[in-house]
């Protein structure tokens, strides 16, 4: 059964178009930052699943029991630029765009709804700072290199407040005015620029 997070602040959301930077088949993902009080229950559930994953790996690999290590958790504490804890946790959710099944490859995609629960069927830009909830499943895994851990599979997202594109803070300083636009001199209005010769362009 999927677990739903409290509201959090999203970063680097890839909800509509998969990212191929770290996956050949593409991957949907989002990093969600949640305050400590609201994140406590999620952290507790993940930690319990991490313990289960370690015990499961040790049971299934008895000859390696002593060498099996726990993997890094799929969350981390957030620190400010001075290295002080902010009291927040960042969780990383992922889902592969294609998974292999016994019947062949199967395309997967997280469901995305708005604040009222209405499906968002057309891609929108979900910028950093957007507020959302995430529904996810936990899957234990074990590899010799990474250890025994838990992945947080992104199954759905509810966008509460969307931030699109880039955004600048308001600052004191220059304000644009139409009077700042420089008008071209009349002497040049009717002149055509002479074609440049190849020798004038220099080397590339």
- Which run of H or of E encompasses 3? strand 3-4
Percent of the chain with pLDDT over 70: 80
pLDDT of residue 6: 96
Cβ count within 10 A of residue 191? 7
Has residue 188 got a pLDDT over 60?
no
For the chain, give the mean pLDDT: 85
Q: Which residue has the higher pLDDT, 132 or 194?
A: 132
Has residue 82 got a pLDDT over 70?
yes
Block residue for tokens 């507790």: 44
Lowest-confidence region among 34-38, 60-64, 87-91, 115-119: 60-64
Write the pLDDT tens digit of every residue in 34-62. Answer: 999 999 999 999 999 999 999 999 999 98
Block residue for tokens 């999927």: 2
Has residue 197 got a pLDDT over 60?
no
Select from 3.30.420.110, 3.40.630.30, 2.40.50.140, 2.60.40.1930 the CATH code of 3-161. Answer: 2.40.50.140
How far, CA to CA in Å, does 66 sit from each of 71, 143, 150? 15, 14, 19
Pairing of strands 147-161, 111-113: parallel
- Strands (E) located in 98-130: 98-101, 104-107, 111-113
Taking the CA atoms of 91, 96, 100 and 101 in sequence, report the sign of the dihedral they define.
positive
pLDDT of residue 187: 45
This prediction has a pTM of 0.76
User: Can you give the residue ranges of every domain in the chain?
Assistant: 3-161
pLDDT of residue 66: 80
pLDDT of residue 198: 43
């Amino acid at each position: 059964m999927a677990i739903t997070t409290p509201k959090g602040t999203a970063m680097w959301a890839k909800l509509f178009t998969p990212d191929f930077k770290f996956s050949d088949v593409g991957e949907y993902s989002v990093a969600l930052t949640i305050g400590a009080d609201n994140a406590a229950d999620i952290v507790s559930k993940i930690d319990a699943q991490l313990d289960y994953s370690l015990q499961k790996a040790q049971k299934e690999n008895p000859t390696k029991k002593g060498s099996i290590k726990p993997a890094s958790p799929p969350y981390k504490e957030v620190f400010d630029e001075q290295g002080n804890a902010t009291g927040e946790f960042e969780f990383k959710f992922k889902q592969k765009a294609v998974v292999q099944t016994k019947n062949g490859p199967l395309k997967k995609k997280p469901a995305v709804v708005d604040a009222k629960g209405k499906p968002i069927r057309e891609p929108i830009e979900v910028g950093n700072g957007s507020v959302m909830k995430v529904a996810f499943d936990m899957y234990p895994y074990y590899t010799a290199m990474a250890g025994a851990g838990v992945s947080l599979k992104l199954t759905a997202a509810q966008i509460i407040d969307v931030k699109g594109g880039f955004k600048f803070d308001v600052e004191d300083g220059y304000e644009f005015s139409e009077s700042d636009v420089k008008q071209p001199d009349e002497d040049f209005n009717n002149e055509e620029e002479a074609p440049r010769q190849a020798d004038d362009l220099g080397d590339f």
